[in-house]
Amino acid sequence: MEENGEARGLAEGKILSIWMILFVVLVLLPSMFRVSLGISHFYVKLLIKILEWATLQTEEGVKKQKVLALENLISTGIIQREETSMEQEIAGQRPGHFSFADVMYFSKKGCEAVAEDEVTRRFSSEELVSWNLLSRTNANLHHVNWQLTVVWVIGILVRYCLLMPFRICLAVFSILLLVLATTVVGQFPNGRENRPQEGGICVANHTSPLDVLILASDACYSLVGQVHGGLLGLIQKSCMQTSQHVLFERSELKDRHLVRKKIREHIADKAKLPILIFPEGTCINNTSVMMFKKGSFEVGGTIHPVAIKYDPRFGDAFWNSTKYSIMTYIFNVLTSWAIVCNVWYLPPMVKEEEEDAVHFANRVKAVIAAQGGMSVLPWDGGLKRKKVKESFKEEQQKKYCQIIIENGSVGNGNVC
């Protein structure tokens, strides 16, 4: 019995030694010297081949079974909207006078919003055109044929029995939690020429806590963000001990003024690290860029825009904080195929003369969205947790009144 125990202990020691050697050789040393061994890129290319094969198998299987087409199984929307403005729909339908038929326009828009508004769906995971062998988008496609079922089952075993334990072990031995624990492939298509400099403000679209880790793996930043509790709060406290960061409570008005003051003081010292800010104020599902808060564009200084676009084929990087805790999110990330993203450092931008902070923020937002291939939405990301402001409703009312006035059907416009 003692001999068996000693043999078991030796075997466990050898396994641990092998894990440590692999970690040091394949992860730690390349990270320290910023050298890529090409393993991650080879792994991603292999995944692309497998997913392309799975897509072909799915399409052929759907045709053979004579069921709905693949694009109908995985719908990207339940209604089809006409991309026309209020002016085009109302003013273009009648010869310049008030009509009760106008009520139908607002009724239609209201029904569309109730069925599927363009804001709420930005706070849920992006739907994929093809299946990525993850349960989130399967739509029972793993039953199409036995070959696809076998690959799907093998994929589950690989992700949960091989990748997840390996990543957890890396997280335990790694100082940078999750930076090295997940297969994160960050690519910089336009190079690092426009990387944020000391004393500048780096602004980026926000999808996930991984945004910070990916950018911090390439440069050091001082962060500006919301105070969190739980595990994320613990990480924030640890970061506060290593560098100067600015954390605040979004609900406290005095905190906003204090943050603005601290940012001004920070960028005035050109020796300090660049500040990293996510002006959307919340995570969006990487299909669009929502309203940038104007606060970070009022303090002056040079703005360094950064566009971050994740590839949803390999895993869902979006953190739906209203649905999942940070622990659940980490588990989903660790059991995904990989997290792959492109990062673009865009040319620095400064506020033009007579340009207010709102227009400057919108200009920066448009540049980031265009580079990342994302749509631009004027809505506040805070709608994830709050009701629509009365000012938004009043804006639509004023727009309608203006149409009536311009068509000359309301005297001097006193009705508005």
- Report how far apart, in Å, the C-alpha atoms of 148 and of each of 71, 214, 372 are: 18, 33, 32
Q: Cα–Cα–Cα angle for 128, 129, 130, nearest 5°? A: 90
How far, CA to CA in Å, does 332 sit from each of 131, 141, 164, 182? 17, 20, 10, 11
- Tokens representing 7? 């043999």
How far is it, in rounded angstroms, from Cα 404 to Cα 416? 9
Instruction: Dump pLDDT digits (tens) for 328-376.
Output: 888 888 889 988 999 999 999 998 888 888 999 999 999 999 999 998 9
DSSP classification of residue 163? I
In terms of phi and psi (left: phi > 0; alpha: psi -120 to 50; beta: otherwise), the region of 243 is beta
- Local confidence pLDDT in tens for the 416 residues of the chain: 555 666 676 777 777 777 777 777 777 677 667 777 788 888 888 998 988 888 888 777 666 655 444 444 444 455 555 666 666 666 555 555 566 667 777 777 767 665 566 667 777 777 776 778 876 554 556 566 788 888 888 988 989 888 888 777 776 665 444 444 445 556 677 667 888 888 789 999 999 889 988 898 888 888 887 777 777 777 777 777 667 777 777 665 566 777 788 888 888 887 888 889 999 988 898 888 998 988 888 888 889 999 999 998 888 889 888 888 888 888 888 889 988 999 999 999 998 888 888 999 999 999 999 999 998 988 887 776 666 667 767 777 777 777 777 665 544 444 45
**What CA–CA distances, in Å, run from 107 to 96, 103, 111, 174?**
21, 6, 6, 56
- The DSSP H or E segment spanning 345 is strand 339-345
Single pTM value for the model: 0.75
Assign 26 to helix, strand or coil: helix
Q: How far is residue 204's CA from residue 296's CA, in Å, rounded to a whole number?
A: 12
Six token digits for residue 124: 């849920």
| CA separation for the pair 323, 343 (Å, rounded) | 27
The CA-based dihedral angle spanning residues 202, 207, 213, 217, taken in that order and rounded to the nearest 10 degrees: -60
Q: How far apart are CA 138 and CA 241, in angstroms?
A: 43
Query: Coil, strand or helix: which one is 52?
Result: helix
Among 50, 49, 69, 77, which residue's Cα sits nearest to residue 141?
Answer: 69
- Length of the chain measured in residues: 416
- pLDDT single digits (tens) 370-403: 999 998 988 887 776 666 667 767 777 777 777 7
Cβ-based burial of 208 (10 A; exposed 0-12, middle 13-18, buried ≥19): buried
CA–CA dist 148, 65 (Å, integer)? 14
